Amino acid sequence: MNFPKATTFPQFIMRERSMGPNPLKLCEELLGCADIPAGSVVLDLGSGAGLTSALMAREFGLTVYAADLWSDPSDNMRFFEACGLTNRQVIPLKADATALPFAHGFFDVVVSVDSYNYFGREPSYLGKHLLPLVRHGGELLFAIPGMEHDCHDDLPACLLASWTPEQLDFMHDMDWWRANFAQTEGAEVVDMREMSCTREAWDDWIGCDNEYAAGDRAAVEAGALDYLNTISVRIRRR
């Protein structure tokens, strides 16, 4: 695939700051499913080490709140400044996805890349914690690591080469997520599809020189990507 925005970041930056399959490519493909005007106020939920936030602020012209529970906001701000961004373009903060410190209707868009499945599996989460923060008519865009078909009752050996059944329980197929979102009043699923860049994003990830990427390598090399996908979700708040 062609990624004119993601590839403005040097490969070594992606490898140093990625925490999973290439978040820059996932984010660029995800935002390509919507039409977000420059200047929109965006919550990047589960922003990790800041790659997706930097991409959205610098390459899409969005004002981004980079919220993550585990990353260091000061380290992320230094990274943003190194990317030529100011604290008026991207605002890093430490925040729990179930206790977000924002007013209702504050955001035009919520984006979550490779993280929603960790905190959003409970059907009540979307309506209770996230949807109210988006203005009416605003959108939520998720890139969710998933499965081609739920296979938890008979997990293939290739998946178990790297992950436990408990870890794999964070991953589900499109039918599972569609049923999950359908339980939230006021949330209209505009689009849901398999993302095209999944294998490419995984190849970039397992090429990284860190213990987490190395830990995932055995499953991928054994054929795990025949069972896994990434699910693109676009939701509009009515």
Q: Is the residue at 225 inside a domain?
A: yes
> What's the pLDDT band for 1 if we cut at 50, 70, 90?
confident
Q: How far apart are CA 8 and CA 171, in angstroms?
A: 30
**Mean pLDDT, residues 166-183 taken together:** 98
Q: How far apart are CA 43 and CA 221, in angstroms?
A: 34
Q: Is the residue at 186 inside a domain?
A: yes
pLDDT at position 21 is 98
| Domain harbouring 214, CATH code | 3.40.50.150
The 8-class DSSP code of residue 126 comes to I
- pLDDT tens column, 27-72: 999 999 999 999 999 999 999 999 999 999 999 999 999 999 999 9
Q: How far apart are CA 237 and CA 109, in angstroms?
A: 10
Q: Is the residue at 216 inside a domain?
A: yes
The pLDDT mean for the chain works out to 98
Phi, psi angle pair for 194, to nearest 5°? -75, 135
Q: Is the residue at 195 inside a domain?
A: yes
Q: Is the residue at 72 inside a domain?
A: yes
Q: Is the residue at 141 inside a domain?
A: yes
Shortest CA distance to 36 belongs to which of 18, 56, 65, 52? 56
Q: What percent of the chain has pLDDT over 70?
A: 100
Check pLDDT > 90 for residue 125: yes
Residues comprising the chain, all counted: 238
Q: Is the residue at 1 inside a domain?
A: no
Check pLDDT > 90 for residue 25: yes
Check pLDDT > 90 for residue 133: yes
Task: State whether residue 131 is helix, strand or coil.
Answer: helix
Strands (E), 77-133: 90-94, 107-113
The 8-class DSSP code of residue 84 comes to T
Q: What percent of the chain has pLDDT over 90?
A: 100
Q: Strand 187-194 vs strand 134-147: parallel, antiparallel, or unpaired?
A: unpaired
* All residues at 6 or more sequence positions from 176 whose CB lies less than 8 Å from its CB, including other chains: 150
pLDDT at position 42 is 99
- pLDDT tens column, 92-113: 999 999 999 999 999 999 999 9
pTM: 0.97
Check pLDDT > 90 for residue 75: yes
pLDDT at position 95 is 98
Domain of residue 152 covers 6-237
Q: Is the residue at 165 inside a domain?
A: yes
pLDDT at position 84 is 98
Q: Domain tally for the chain?
A: 1
Task: State whether residue 192 is helix, strand or coil.
Answer: strand
Q: How far apart are CA 229 and CA 231, in angstroms?
A: 6
**Mean pLDDT, residues 17-32 taken together:** 98
